[in-house]
Structure 1
């Protein structure tokens, strides 16, 4: 068992550093050490491919050399800890303590603040773009249940039900992203059209993500809408969210908001 653990540590060191000296006791010839480089090259290629797939917008705003340099630094510090690379670099929803210690790739970009960015866009703006990429993928992979339809609500009204007493909640795929820079439209152009951007300006934005009929939807919110959704996600109560928005003096048309929630299939019934 000790030999096996020593080999795993030596092999891990080789994969991350390229130094095969610790593997000499486990190899039968120099040729074997050269052969192992194939595994190391494949390891980095697979990790880079996963990060490029998960953070598409960054591959359009950064040239390949810059992206690979940043991504390789992340791989060296935080190599994959799971058998699959599908979610590599993304924030973990696991409660496993070790996984929670591993920063996501967007958070890693924030850790680089203080260094000169590779382009004339701040690390924080790159973080915002990567965060939107991450949210898009996580939203796509979520499953919604008990979605409320307009017909159901009409039936409730016909039966005289008080809608304020109905246990409405937001569907499972809903998430709210706050960005420090005006990143939403830039992210859309990068991710879906491959168009470059040449500037970034500070402007806080709140973007709502959700899944509708198997496709990811995203909407830039007004400040009033953002306050409502923040409160709704925190309280899991549409009544509490509306009350909180009203106390803040948020300029919300409640009827129009409720119609928007139904039309976008954003509500579910708690059972």
Structure 2
């Protein structure tokens, strides 16, 4: 491929409810590959016709009724591969494919973890930590496979990844225990965080704004919950990375916005 390979990742928060903005994004940005999280639809009723009309011939789906769900839509050939059960209960939170050049793409939707950052009081928080530990076990065993790991990690790891470190220290998604385990995941295979490779800390770099905000742009109480990591052997192939922040202001938006990375493979 002579042009860079453009890969996007987006927690769409129900793909069928947001087809209009999905189509707008695909027309305006034309990524070769789109990784979706929280599709909230079974595979047999996934709206694949829209994607096919726009050239996304390869559609790798892992859906679930009303909850969770991930998908990879591609204009370039991919081989269907893995659906890891890192949640250990059958939830549709991962799908992985392999490109023709041997690079793997792993698309993940990490559990949010509920509201109370205590595994004893809140089983959902414990499930989130166990999910990440299973990811660490997988990552440690990856060996030398060139891999892109992307999706909604539901953790904003750095102080500058949230609008107020002090006020969010005890809020799920930015607690010390979550940041520590995500740090161990990153260290387990020396993952390169492309967001911070292109926008070094402490630059502002949010990907999520709550629906509760009356004016999300004015209050700007954002968090960086969505990430694109790569193994060190392909970090140098990433030629651009950005957050499509204007999408948060589109009609009927997701609370997340897309990440877009171009790779010169």
TM-score by length of 1: 0.24
Bigger-Rg structure (1/2)? 1
Q: Flag the structure with higher helix content.
A: 1
- TM-score, reference length from structure 2: 0.25
